Amino acid sequence: MLWTEYMRRVRRELEMSQQELAKEMDVSYSSINRWENKQAVPGRLARKSFFAFCNVRNIPIPAELLEENEQE
């Protein structure tokens, strides 16, 4: 699964706007938009922030994304 797909799915399941997710992750709206539209890939800190966001909400994180993050 790609980061873009997973982030979009989580955001939609939580019925959040890109703006709301950006605020929760302390990133810009344009960053969320670029990630979801496959124009950019979130950096290591952004991924860590997203993992924390998911963990607080008990949202499972696919093992492949965790492994990918550890390899960098």
The overall average pLDDT reported for the chain is: 89
Query: What is the predicted pLDDT for the residue at 4?
Result: 83
**Domain CATH for 16:** 1.10.260
Dist CA 48 CA 43 (whole Å): 9
Residues spanned by the domain of 61: 3-71
pLDDT tens for each residue of 21-56:
999 999 999 999 999 998 998 888 888 899 999 999
Q: What's the number of domains the chain is made of?
A: 1
| pLDDT category of residue 1 using cuts at 50, 70 and 90 | low
- pLDDT (average), residues 7-12: 94
